[in-house]
C-alpha cells in the first residue's frame, strides 16, 4: 500500500471550512463572539498553526503523558516523600492548586469558544485539542491535590477557592473572566494563548517545576511539567491569530497584548513572586523571581513580540521597576494578612535569607528592612497580636490587589503611591497608571467592587477581621499562619537583648 506523505494529507484534516449558503456568515460567527473587527472575513483562511496535529497523533501522545503522570503519582503514593517536604514549599503547591485548578476548567471553556467561534477551520480544530488538554489539566490538578486533603485541609482549596470570596481569588476571577470568558475569540486568542500561555504559563510551569524538583516535590513537578507540554502546543493558536490580526489592525493587537500582559504580571507578583523568593527553601532556590522574569518574560517574550512586529508595552519602564518591588511589597502583605490566605506564608527573612534577598535585590533593605525589623521585634517579644491585621489594605479597582506600588522620586528614594480617578462622581483608586488606564478603556464593562468597597457598603458583617474571614470562607482549620511557626525570627534575638 502506498502511504500519502504527511504534507499531502495534513491539509485535508485541518482545512474543513466551506462557504455557507443556507445561513448568513454573521449569524454563525457573530461579531460579539468571533470578533473579526477590521479583519476581512476571508483573511482568516490564511490562519496557520506551526505544529500540526491529527487526532490519532493527539490521542497517542496524550495517552503516553497521562500514563507517565499517573505512574509517577502511584509510585510516590507508597513513599514518605510528602511527610518530608518543607512547609514553605508545600505552600507553593497549595497556592498553585487553589489558584490554578479551576482556571484550567475555565480555560477549557475558553478553548471551546474558539472551537466554535474561531474564524478558520484549522483554528477550530486546534481549539478542540486545547479543550481536551484543559479538561486533562483540571482533572490532574484536582486529583493530585485530593490525595493530600486528609493530611492537610488547605489542599481542599484546590476545589474550594473559586467558590469563595477570598481576596486573591476575587483578583484571579477578575483577571481570568476578563481574559478567558468575556472576550470574543480573536481577543481571547491574543490574551490567553498568546500573552498568558506563551509568556507567563511557562514561568509558572517550568520555573516552578525547577524549584519543585530542587525541593524534592517530584510529584508536583511531574504534574506541572506534564501540563506544560500541552500548553506549549495549544498556545500556538495565539501566534497564528496575532499574525492575521497584525496585517489588518495592529493597534488593536498591541492594546490587547499590553492589557493582558500587565494584568498577568500583577497576579504573578502576588502568587509566583513570593512563592519563588520566600516560600521556596533558600538552599533550593535556583534563581530569583526577578531572574526568572528576566529570562522568560523580558528576554523571550519581548523577542516574540518583536517577531510579530509588536512594540514593547507602553508602560515598560514601570514594569521593569516593579520587578524590584511588587512581589516584595505583596509578600509583606501576604505574611501580615496571613489569616486571609489558604496556605502558610513563609516569612523568609532569616539572616541568611535576608542576605540572599539583598544580593538579588539591592534596594530590598532600604525599602523593606525596617518593616520586617518591626515585625521581628514584635515576634521576639511575644507580641504576635501586633503582627496580625485589624483591618484591610486599600485595593486597586482594576487588579484588585493591595495598593503597594512604589514610585521613584527625583532624589533616588521611593514612596508608595495611589493613582485615583474620579468618574461619574465616584473616585476609584488604582495601584498604578496602567491599571488606571485599563479601567478607563474598559469602564463600561467593569463592575467589580473591591473587598474594601464591599466592606464600606455594609456587605460584610460584622465589619471586623473575624467577619471578613468568615465572608471569605476562611475557617480556622485552613486560615494561614507562619510556615515555620516564627522560628526564623530567632536569628534576631540579639536585637531584643540589645534593646533591653
Cell triple for 140: 490532574
The interface region with Mn ion, picked from 104-112, 157-165, 313-321, 333-341 by CB under 5 A, is 104-112
CA atoms within 13 A on the CB side of 428: 24
Q: Which residues pair with 197 in a beta bridge?
A: none
**How far is it, in rounded angstroms, from Cα 292 to Cα 378?**
33
Cell 504534507 -> residue? 7
Among 137, 327, 331, 354, binds Mn ion (CB under 5 A): 137
Q: Is 113 in the site for Mn ion (CB under 5 A)?
A: no
Among 49, 86, 104, 187, binds Mn ion (CB under 5 A): 104
Give which of 399, 357, 398, 166 is closest to 266, Cα–Cα.
399
CA atoms within 13 A on the CB side of 231: 25
Binding mask 155-174 for Mn ion (x = CB under 5 A): --------------------
Q: Is 195 in the site for Mn ion (CB under 5 A)?
A: no
**How far is it, in rounded angstroms, from Cα 443 to Cα 434?**
14
Nearest residue (CB) to Mn ion, 223 versus 478: 223
Q: Is 136 in the site for Mn ion (CB under 5 A)?
A: no
**How far is it, in rounded angstroms, from Cα 93 to Cα 312?**
32
Q: Is 224 in the site for Mn ion (CB under 5 A)?
A: no
The interface region with Mn ion, picked from 231-239, 336-344, 460-468, 489-497 by CB under 5 A, is 231-239
The 8-class DSSP code of residue 479 comes to: S
Among 93, 99, 107, 161, binds Mn ion (CB under 5 A): 107
The interface region with Mn ion, picked from 128-136, 211-219, 305-313, 387-395 by CB under 5 A, is 128-136
Residue 269 CB, nearest distance to Mn ion (Å)? 21
Q: Is 97 in the site for Mn ion (CB under 5 A)?
A: no
Query: In this structure, is the dihedral angle defined by the CA atoms of residues 454, 458, 459 and 460, taken in order, positive or negative?
Result: positive
Percent composition of the chain: helix, strand, coil (DSSP 3-state, to 5): 65, 5, 30
Residue 133 CB, nearest distance to Mn ion (Å)? 6
Residue 308 CB, nearest distance to Mn ion (Å)? 19
Q: Give, in order, the Cα–Cα distances in Å from 247 to each of 169, 192, 335.
A: 37, 20, 47
Q: Which residues pair with 421 in a beta bridge?
A: 428
Nearest residue (CB) to Mn ion, 228 versus 450: 228
Residue 255 CB, nearest distance to Mn ion (Å)? 22
Q: Is 233 in the site for Mn ion (CB under 5 A)?
A: no
End-to-end CA distance of the chain: 91
The interface region with Mn ion, picked from 156-164, 223-231, 247-255, 449-457 by CB under 5 A, is 223-231
Nearest residue (CB) to Mn ion, 183 versus 348: 183
Interface ranges with Mn ion (CB under 5 A): 104, 107, 134, 137, 197, 231
Amino acid at each position: 500500500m502506498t502511504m500519502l506523505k504527511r504534507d499531502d494529507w495534513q491539509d485535508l484534516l485541518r482545512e474543513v471550512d466551506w462557504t455557507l449558503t443556507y445561513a448568513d456568515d454573521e449569524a454563525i460567527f457573530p461579531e460579539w463572539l468571533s470578533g473579526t473587527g477590521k479583519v476581512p472575513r476571508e483573511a482568516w483562511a490564511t490562519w496557520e498553526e506551526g505544529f500540526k496535529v491529527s487526532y490519532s497523533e493527539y490521542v497517542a501522545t496524550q495517552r503516553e503523558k497521562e500514563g507517565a503522570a499517573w505512574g509517577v503519582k502511584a509510585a510516590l503514593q507508597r513513599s514518605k516523600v510528602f511527610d518530608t517536604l518543607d512547609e514553605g514549599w508545600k505552600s507553593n503547591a497549595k497556592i498553585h492548586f487553589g489558584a490554578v485548578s479551576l482556571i484550567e476548567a475555565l480555560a477549557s471553556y475558553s478553548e471551546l469558544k474558539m472551537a466554535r467561534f474561531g474564524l478558520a477551520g484549522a483554528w477550530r480544530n486546534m481549539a478542540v485539542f486545547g479543550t481536551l488538554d484543559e479538561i486533562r489539566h483540571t482533572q490532574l490538578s484536582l486529583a493530585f491535590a485530593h490525595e493530600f486533603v486528609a493530611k492537610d485541609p488547605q489542599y481542599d482549596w484546590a476545589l474550594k477557592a473559586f467558590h469563595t470570596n477570598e481576596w486573591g481569588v476575587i483578583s484571579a476571577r477578575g483577571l481570568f473572566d476578563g481574559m478567558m470568558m468575556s472576550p470574543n475569540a480573536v481577543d481571547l486568542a491574543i490574551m490567553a494563548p498568546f500573552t498568558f500561555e506563551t509568556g507567563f504559563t511557562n514561568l509558572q510551569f517550568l520555573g516552578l517545576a525547577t524549584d519543585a524538583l530542587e525541593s524534592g516535590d517530584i510529584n508536583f513537578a511531574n504534574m506541572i511539567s506534564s501540563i506544560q507540554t500541552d500548553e506549549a502546543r495549544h498556545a500556538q493558536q495565539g501566534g497564528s491569530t496575532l499574525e492575521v490580526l497584525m496585517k489588518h489592525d495592529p493597534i488593536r493587537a498591541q492594546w490587547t497584548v499590553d492589557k493582558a500582559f500587565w494584568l498577568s504580571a500583577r497576579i504573578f507578583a502576588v502568587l509566583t513572586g513570593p512563592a519563588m523568593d520566600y516560600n521556596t527553601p533558600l538552599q533550593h532556590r535556583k534563581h530569583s523571581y526577578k531572574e526568572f522574569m528576566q529570562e522568560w518574560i523580558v528576554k523571550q517574550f519581548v523577542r516574540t513580540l518583536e517577531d510579530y512586529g509588536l512594540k514593547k508595552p507602553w508602560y515598560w519602564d514601570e514594569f521593569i521597576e516593579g520587578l524590584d518591588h511588587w512581589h516584595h511589597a505583596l509578600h509583606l502583605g501576604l505574611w501580615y494578612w496571613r489569616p486571609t490566605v489558604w496556605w502558610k506564608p513563609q516569612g523568609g527573612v532569616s539572616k541568611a535569607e535576608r542576605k540572599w534577598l539583598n544580593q538579588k535585590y539591592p534596594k530590598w533593605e532600604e525599602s523593606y528592612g525596617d518593616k520586617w525589623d518591626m515585625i521581628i521585634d514584635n515576634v521576639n517579644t511575644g507580641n504576635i497580636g501586633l503582627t496580625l491585621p485589624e483591618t484591610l489594605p486599600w485595593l486597586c479597582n482594576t487588579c484588585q490587589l493591595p495598593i503597594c506600588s512604589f514610585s521613584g522620586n527625583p532624589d533616588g528614594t521611593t514612596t508608595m503611591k495611589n493613582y485615583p480617578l474620579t468618574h461619574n462622581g465616584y473616585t476609584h483608586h488604582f495601584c498604578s497608571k496602567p491599571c488606571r488606564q485599563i479601567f478607563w478603556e474598559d469602564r463600561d464593562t467593569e463592575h467589580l467592587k473591591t473587598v474594601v468597597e464591599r466592606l464600606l457598603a455594609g456587605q460584610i458583617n460584622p465589619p471586623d477581621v473575624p467577619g471578613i474571614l468568615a465572608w471569605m470562607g476562611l475557617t480556622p482549620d485552613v486560615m494561614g499562619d507562619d510556615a515555620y511557626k516564627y522560628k526564623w525570627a530567632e536569628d534576631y534575638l540579639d536585637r531584643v537583648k540589645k534593646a533591653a
